């Protein structure tokens, strides 16, 4: 009779793998903060009272010209500056996914975060030399942010036990939702007290410090980590073998909470054999696509008061996070070997949709003066419903034949 005792289950939040998830969560908070902060600082950077279209002249305010330099940038230039980072993100997705199978994740994630932070630090200086340099910095920022966001997800191939994959992935990715919340809460205070350049200096410096921490603390494989306990190492390896800012931040805050909740619920359903893996993926995708559509319709027809509008707006944004237990992690189920590459490819499609949606929304708002938002919301609802039907019909949750392999290799 075999008296061997199975490896002791490691307390979740006292383990190295959850420490890595926390590092990645902070990385995503910083990345999103660096991406979003310019949308708010632009209000302080641009002089709306002066005629636009001049070259990169800086308006000198007697009391505040050093702390808060102001530029005469046209609305077209402002739009290009804000959107230019997405072109970098779009370009980098597929190459980053491919390279994640060749080069060290430690170097790729750490270097990408450091370089994104470095170009964040350079934006105030670039603004003094001209709008073209700001746009270039933003594009390069997008390139490195796309690399960081794509390659970090490959970490969980070796670090996440199967029953914790969704929980760890959703915990780390929830930083993408928490980041805008942080920016909206503190950017206004920084601009008022220290000046808008300090927003870029603070988020850039935090990113540089975090990247150094990543280089020190992260190891590619649990077997190589010097601080991991024997029980956790065995646990992983054995299972693998087997009102302005405040109000605006609330939807992102609740989306972060829902993301963590979705990851935990999905893992509970799977670990207790309550539902099959495919049913779990379809259920959370159904919730993540259908509920935002329903609450968006409620926002149009049932939000007769301020509080009603806020409630439905928060729910419409937050319930989309249920997809983290569904379609957003599904690639890891069907093709773990090509996870980095496929995640980069799907991110390209998602970013393309975001660019198209922004353009279409601008066209509708400029041409339809009667009920533009009604059309925009109905288009969003239709997109969610059509995507949901397609997913429910074709979704799979087992490793596909083309992705199977006797042992792990790199692309």
pLDDT in tens, 97-124: 778 778 888 999 999 999 999 999 999 9
More confident residue, 16 or 403: 16
For residue 60, tell me if it sits in a domain.
no
Residue 297 within any structural domain of the chain: yes
Sign of the Cα pseudo-torsion (93, 99, 101, 107, in order): negative
Q: Are residues 341 and 264 in the same domain?
A: yes
- Is position 317 within any domain? yes
Classify residue 306: in a domain, yes or no. yes
Say if residue 156 is in the same domain as residue 269: no
7 has pLDDT over 50: no
Same domain, 278 and 215: no
* Residue 400 burial (CB count, 10 A): 12
92 and 220 share a domain?
A: yes
Domain total for the chain? 2
Do residues 220 and 276 both lie within one domain? Answer: no
CATH code assigned at 153 = 1.20.1250.20
Q: Is the pLDDT of residue 304 over 80?
A: no
For residues 34 and 203, the answer to whether their CB atoms sit within 8 Å is yes
Least confident piece of the model among 62-71, 151-160, 277-286, 359-368: 62-71
Residue with tokens 């707006």: 313
Asked whether residue 141 is domain-assigned, the answer is yes
| Same-domain status, 304 and 164 | no
Residues 216 and 263 in one domain: no
343 belongs to a structural domain: yes
pTM of the full structure: 0.67
What b/e readout covers 127-141, taking b as 16+ CB neighbours within 10 angstroms? beeebebbbbbbbbb
Contacting residues for 107 by C-beta, under 8 A, at least 6 apart: none
Local confidence band at 4 (pLDDT 50, 70, 90 cut-offs): very low
Residue 247 lies in a domain: no
Please give the residue range of the domain that contains residue 160. 16-47+67-228
What is the Cα–Cα distance from 335 to 294, expressed in whole angstroms? 32
Residues 207 and 279 in one domain: no
Is there a single domain that holds both residue 278 and residue 206? Answer: no
31 and 134 together in one domain: yes
- CA–CA separation, 99 and 346 (whole Å): 16
Provide the token pair at 29.
Answer: 């908070």
Mean pLDDT within 306-322: 82
Is the domain of 294 the same as that of 162? no
| 381 has a pLDDT exceeding 80 | yes
Q: What is the pLDDT of residue 248?
A: 64
Residue 58, helix vs strand vs coil = strand
With contact defined as beta carbons under 8 Å apart, do 324 and 173 qualify? yes
- pLDDT digits 0-9 by tens, 243-261: 475 566 677 778 888 888 8
Is the per-residue pLDDT at 1 higher than 60?
no
Co-location of 265 and 200 in the same domain = no
Identify which of 47-61, 104-118, 254-268, 345-359 has the greatest average pLDDT: 104-118
Task: Kindly state the DSSP code that residue 63 receives in the 8-state scheme.
Answer: T
Residue 3 lies in a domain: no
CA distances from 93 to 22, 184, 337 (A): 23, 27, 17
CB 162 within 8 A of CB 239: yes
Domain boundary among 184, 211, 228: 228
Q: At residue 55, does pLDDT exceed 50?
A: no
């Amino acid at each position: 009779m075999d008296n061997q005792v199975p490896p002791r289950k490691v307390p979740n939040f006292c383990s190295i793998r959850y420490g890595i998830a926390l590092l990645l969560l902070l990385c995503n908070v910083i990345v999103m903060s660096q991406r979003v902060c310019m949308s708010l600082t632009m209000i302080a950077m641009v002089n709306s009272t002066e005629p636009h279209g001049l070259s990169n002249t800086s308006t000198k305010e007697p009391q505040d010209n050093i702390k808060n330099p102001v530029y005469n940038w046209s609305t077209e230039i402002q739009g290009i500056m804000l959107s230019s980072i997405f072109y970098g993100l779009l370009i980098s997705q597929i190459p980053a996914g491919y390279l994640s199978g060749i080069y060290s994740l430690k170097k790729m994630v750490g270097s990408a975060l450091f370089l994104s932070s470095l170009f964040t630090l350079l934006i105030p200086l670039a603004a003094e030399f001209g709008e073209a340099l700001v746009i270039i910095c933003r594009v390069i920022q997008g390139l490195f942010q796309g690399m960081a966001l794509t390659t970090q997800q490959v970490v969980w191939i070796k670090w996440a036990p199967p029953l914790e994959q969704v929980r760890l992935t959703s915990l780390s990715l929830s930083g993408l939702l928490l980041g805008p919340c942080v920016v909206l809460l503190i950017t206004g205070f920084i601009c008022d007290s220290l000046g808008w350049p300090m927003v870029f200096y603070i988020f850039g410096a935090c990113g540089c410090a975090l990247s150094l921490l990543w280089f020190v603390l992260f190891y590619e494989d649990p077997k190589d980590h010097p601080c991991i306990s024997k029980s956790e190492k065995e646990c992983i390896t054995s299972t693998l073998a087997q009102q302005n800012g405040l109000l605006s931040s609330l939807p992102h805050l609740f989306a972060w909470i829902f993301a963590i909740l979705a990851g935990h619920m999905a893992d509970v359903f799977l670990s207790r054999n309550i539902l099959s893996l495919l049913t779990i993926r379809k259920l959370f995708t159904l919730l993540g696509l259908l509920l935002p559509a329903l609450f968006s319709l409620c926002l149009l027809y049932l939000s007769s008061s301020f509080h009603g509008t806020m409630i439905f707006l928060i729910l419409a944004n937050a319930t989309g996070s249920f997809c983290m237990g569904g379609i957003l992690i599904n690639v890891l189920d069907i093709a773990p070997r090509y996870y980095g590459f496929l995640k980069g490819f799907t991110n390209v499609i998602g970013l393309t949709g975001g660019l198209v949606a922004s353009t279409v929304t601008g066209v509708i708002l400029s041409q339809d003066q009667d009920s533009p938002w009604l059309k925009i919301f109905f288009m969003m609802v239709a997109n969610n419903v059509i995507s949901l039907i397609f997913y429910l019909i074709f979704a799979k949750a087992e490793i596909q034949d083309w992705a199977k392999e006797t042992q792990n290799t790199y692309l």
